[in-house]
Amino acid sequence: MVKENSHVVIVEDEVIIALDIKQCLEEYGYVVDGIYANTTEALEGIEEHKPDVVLMDIILEGGEEGTQIVGYIQEKLSTPVVYVTSQSEVQTLQKARITKPYGYIIKPVDEQQLHSAI
């Protein structure tokens, strides 16, 4: 269970959504170590900051899939991942389920849902 003052990394390519999530998290007492828009930057930031949890968009800029790096994040870095998505396409959600995330948050993000998921 992640507690207040825990560190979070946000992997989200939509800036307004990422900033909204950051603001909500900080209001609840979480520390946001970084916001990243693609998997390469995200991995670097996650390895550098070693957060307590990662909020990961399933589809990132350029059609990149956040699911591609979740296995590494969970297994090698032992960091739980919660997906933040607006995707309802069955094939996309099946790929996400395979990675066994700690949870899902549907966009638009509700503050209570965000806090509960973390």
| pLDDT value, residue 4 | 62
Percentage of residues in the chain with pLDDT exceeding 70? 93
**Residue 24: left if φ>0, alpha if ψ -120 to 50, beta else—which one?**
alpha
| pLDDT value, residue 113 | 87
The burial of 91, by beta-carbon neighbours within 10 Å (0-12 exposed, 13-18 middle, 19 or more buried), is given as: exposed
Tell how strand 53-57 and strand 81-85 pair up: parallel
Query: pTM for the complete prediction?
Result: 0.89
